[in-house]
Amino acid sequence: MSISFGTDGWRALIAEEYTFANVRLCAQGAVDLLRSQGHQPRGLMIGYDTRFGSDRFAAAVAEVAAGNQTTALLCDRPAPTPAVAHNLVARDAGGGVVITASHNSAEWNGFKYKPDYGGSASEEVIEQLERHISAALSAGTPPTMPLDEATRLGLVEYVDPEPGYLGHISSLVDLEAIRSSGLKILADPMHGAGGGYFSKLLSGGTTSVAEIRSKPNPAFPGMSQPEPIARNLGQLQSSIKRRKADVGLATDGDADRLGLVDERGQFVTTLQTFALLCMHQMEVLNNRGAIVRSITMTRMVDRLADIHGVKVFETPVGFKHLAPVMIRERAMLAGEESGGYAFRGSVPERDGVLSGLMLLDLMVKTGQSVSELLATLEEKVGPHHYDRLDLTLNRAQRLSAITNLASARPETLGGKRVEHVDTEDGFRFMLQDGYWALVRFSGTEPLLRIYAEAESSDAVARLLHEVRTIAGV
């Protein structure tokens, strides 16, 4: 058996591949990686989400660290991945582990590794980690130390992840202006690790924050998975209309992604959301610096960047690609289609809570509702609509789709001229007027994903249909 890390960490079905034995192997690999880097004396930060058994899997990681005489900084409660990442950096740990499968369905759990800068591990770091895990598998059962003994010896320290993180992001946003704005905010942590964070940050003024689905529940009832996209946010959308809220903010299972719903109960796509965040940075906060986006992210960003003379860097999907570029360029923000956005001044990691605060700050400083902000955005960059189709394929269907796509040479798609096809990360068809369609396999789930951005929802639907036909699925 081999353990392979995808777009963001290793994920597997609980009780099948995701077992205590395999988690301990991953933990041994992480400790050995720290040792090889000379970072072992700085210790290992360990966090976890609200999934089934996450606290016990995190404890198993701590036991392996202690068994290797490596200090484990173990969160004493479930926490958002960005909160764990912040504590990692603030405490100068050598690296970090988060037990989470992020937005995957309830049957999954995962193991994310964070280098000492707190962002997603680069491909180079992941390759090193996988080699160490493979060596640990050959070496046999990793050494462990019971938590009670390790705590007594000072090899396990329990950490409250909230105070430092809340203080940090409070310094990045004008919270007092949001608290006194009188906004009516509805938060939906989707039974995940983000429960209570918006309320704690924004209480004490005329603004009200109510939460739905705030109680941790590893079954994630009422949704296919804790991913903050339209099909999983029906309850938030209906609640906004019923309660006459101004905005809805949803975070995924480990709260590193954000979903946005406007005052009418309409879901705002992740591409529109990132464009709004870019507009906020450049036009409201008057910040400058590079923007980093994945290939699946909107070209609205490029048009805004052109207006303000800002450079845009494009990467493959996954923050393991975005984070290194963000660090290198000191970018003001980075974003990917999954709803993950990161900001200069914080760790180079997706942060659903901070993203939500930035959007609230945009609303307060402009005095506009979300729907009005979207209208303003369209005036600047033109109409852009987007959708994504997720398909579960077996191995034979997957191979057939790859063969069909590799041989396809369409001159037009959806009535638009195909100007260029690239295969950097999947099969991407660049169309006239800056619109596009893309087919790629998920790095975290057994899915084929088809993406499209065009000038209308009908045009997007045509693109998705035609590309699916080409793929033969």
Residue range 414-430, pLDDT digits in tens: 999 999 998 888 999 99
Q: Long-range contacts of range 401-404, CB-CB < 8 Å, 24 or more positions apart?
A: 401/439, 401/448, 401/471, 401/472, 401/473, 404/470, 404/471, 404/472
* C-alpha gyration radius of the chain: 22
> In percent, how much of the chain has pLDDT > 70?
99
Q: What is the pTM of this model?
A: 0.93
Query: What integer is the mean pLDDT of 357-379?
Result: 98
Residue 459, domain CATH: 3.30.310.50
Query: What integer is the mean pLDDT of 441-452?
Result: 83
Which tokens go with 429?
């068809």
- The answer to whether residue 3 is domain-embedded is no
Do the Cβ atoms of 6 and 113 come closer than 8 Å? no
pLDDT of amino acid 444 = 67
The answer on 241 and 349 residing in a single domain is yes
CA atoms within 13 A on the CB side of 164: 17
The answer on 370 and 393 residing in a single domain is no
Cα–Cα distance measured from residue 202 to residue 164, given in angstroms and rounded to the nearest whole number: 16
The answer on 324 and 176 residing in a single domain is yes
pLDDT confidence band for 462 (50 / 70 / 90): very high
Cα–Cα distance measured from residue 311 to residue 15, given in angstroms and rounded to the nearest whole number: 46
* Crossing angle between the packed helical segments 300-308 and 370-381, to the nearest 10 degrees: 70
Do the Cβ atoms of 444 and 6 come closer than 8 Å? yes
Which tokens go with 196?
């209570």
The answer on 412 and 367 residing in a single domain is no
- The answer to whether residue 2 is domain-embedded is no
Query: What integer is the mean pLDDT of 97-112?
Result: 96
pLDDT of amino acid 442 = 80
> In percent, how much of the chain has pLDDT > 90?
89
- For residue 260, pLDDT over 80 is answered with yes
Query: What integer is the mean pLDDT of 180-198?
Result: 98
The answer on 237 and 154 residing in a single domain is no
Query: What integer is the mean pLDDT of 185-192?
Result: 98
pLDDT of amino acid 447 = 84
Residue 73, domain CATH: 3.40.120.10
Domain boundary among 357, 381, 405: 381
Q: Quick: pLDDT tens for 106-138.
A: 999 999 999 999 999 999 999 999 999 999 999
The answer on 359 and 299 residing in a single domain is yes
Q: How many domains, in total, are found in the chain?
A: 3
The answer on 369 and 390 residing in a single domain is no
- The answer to whether residue 1 is domain-embedded is no
Domain boundary among 112, 129, 161: 161
Cα–Cα distance measured from residue 176 to residue 204, given in angstroms and rounded to the nearest whole number: 9
- The answer to whether residue 101 is domain-embedded is yes
Cα–Cα distance measured from residue 405 to residue 383, given in angstroms and rounded to the nearest whole number: 28
Query: What integer is the mean pLDDT of 458-465?
Result: 95
Which tokens go with 389?
């189709």
- Give the list of residues 6+ apart from residue 28 with CB closer than 8 angstroms, or none: 64, 68, 132, 133, 136, 139, 142
Q: Quick: pLDDT tens for 201-242.
A: 999 999 999 999 999 999 999 999 999 999 999 999 999 999
The answer on 395 and 374 residing in a single domain is no
Q: Order the strands of the 72-75 sheet from edge to edge.
A: 10-13, 108-115, 95-99, 44-48, 72-75, 156-159
Domain range for residue 334? Answer: 172-381
**CB contact burial 239-256 (16+ within 10 A = b; e otherwise):** bbeeeebbbbbbbbbbbb
pLDDT of amino acid 274 = 97
First to last CA, the chain: 30
pLDDT of amino acid 1 = 66
Average pLDDT value over all residues in the chain = 95
- Give the list of residues 6+ apart from residue 472 with CB closer than 8 angstroms, or none: 400, 401, 404
- Give the list of residues 6+ apart from residue 135 with CB closer than 8 angstroms, or none: 29, 32
pLDDT confidence band for 285 (50 / 70 / 90): very high
**CB contact burial 111-126 (16+ within 10 A = b; e otherwise):** bbbbbbbbbbbbeebb
- The answer to whether residue 5 is domain-embedded is no
pLDDT of amino acid 2 = 77
Characterize the bridge pairing of strands 247-251 and 184-188.
parallel
- The answer to whether residue 82 is domain-embedded is yes
Q: Quick: pLDDT tens for 384-425.
A: 999 999 999 888 888 899 899 988 889 999 999 999 998 888
The answer on 247 and 98 residing in a single domain is no
